[in-house]
Amino acid sequence: MSILIVDDSPDQQALLRSILGKAGHADVLSADSARAAAHVLNLDGNSATQNIDLILMDVLMPDQDGVETCRQIKRCAHLEDIPIIMVTAKADLSNLQEAFAAGAMDFISKPVNSIELLARVASALLLKQEMDRRKNRELDLHRSNEELQKALKEVKSLRGLIPICASCKKIRNDGGFWQQLEEYLAEHLDAEFSHGLCQPCIKKLYPGVYQD
């Protein structure tokens, strides 16, 4: 699974990469600013440039801080399920309430403890896996529902051999009873009928009225 580190400090990036790499997390990306993170995540698009499963977000960064960046990420439909862990110095703990309100799920304090980091990362990635499974189940259910609706629509179509009286034009239904044609069709089609007379019938029934 892919992890994005957003931090303006090269040393902090290197430290996090080292800890994660030793634990087997090989797919780790870095961004040194909110602008760089926005490019990786494609904030203005409909899908992420990279498939990111977790973001480690520094709180204090130049130009735009991590809290506002977190808020912007959570506003994007294609990014809202990505867990965000805030990385903050102890002096910045006052910002955590705002960070959680912006959508962050957890935090770790600097200097980073490797055991704490890996435990929180593991928890966040498990959460992301479960969210992905839930979303896939919802997609499967949606597809199944569409297929069911299509099947029901096809059931409404008249197929096969339909017995019809050569004289009165009544149709024999599945129960063996004879029905008027329009009644039978109304039961098997999503259609309503209006009644009128065609020209041949008008001529036959009202010869004095119909003019050739």
Instruction: State pLDDT tens for residues 117-131.
Output: 999 999 999 999 998
Compute how many other C-beta atoms are within 10 angstroms of the C-beta atom of residue 151: 9
State the average pLDDT over residues 87-99.
77
Strands (E), 11-146: 28-31, 54-58, 84-89, 106-110
Band the pLDDT of 97: cuts 50, 70, 90: confident
88 occurs within a structural domain: yes
Identify the domain containing residue 168 by its residue range: 158-212
pLDDT at 176: 83
Number of domain units in the chain: 2
pLDDT at 117: 96
And the tokens for 127? 């959460």
pLDDT at 155: 55
- Give the distance, in angstroms, between the CA of residue 56 and the centroid of all CA atoms in the same chain: 24
pLDDT at 46: 67
One domain for residues 167 and 211: yes
- Least Cα distance to 26 among 46, 9, 3, 58 occurs for 3
Q: Is the pLDDT at 35 greater than 80, yes or no?
A: yes
pLDDT at 138: 84
Instruction: Determine the angle formed by the axes of helices 10-22 and 114-155, rounding to 10 degrees.
Output: 70
